[in-house]
A = this chain, B = another copy of it.
Amino acid sequence: MKKVKIYVTLRESVLDPQGSAVKGSLVNMGYKEVEDVRIGKYLELLISDTDRDIDTLVKEMCEKLLANTVIEDYRFEIEEAH
């Protein structure tokens, strides 16, 4: 069994209105040190043992469903699940 942690973030060139709103709120709450906020997705997948190459599998899932690669980047880590 493997645990896969996937981080999906907006590409740097893409505006992040949700992040801007959160940044505005934090500054209004008195956290004037906050310069920038970007918001992305964090996914945890549990994948059972398989003959297929897990790296390839996860890459396919990201490209086909989990990330919109026109505006988003993704990266992932695979670890042994206990």
Contact = CB atoms under 8 A, between A and B. Distances in A.
Given A29-B64, A57-B31, A42 B39 contact: yes
A9 interface: yes
Contact of A45 (B36, B42, B50): B36
Contact of A48 (B35, B42, B48, B49): B35
Interface in A1-27: 1, 7-9, 19, 22, 25-26
A9 to B, nearest CB: 7
Contacts of A40: 41-44
A25 B47 CA distance: 14
A33 B61 contact: no
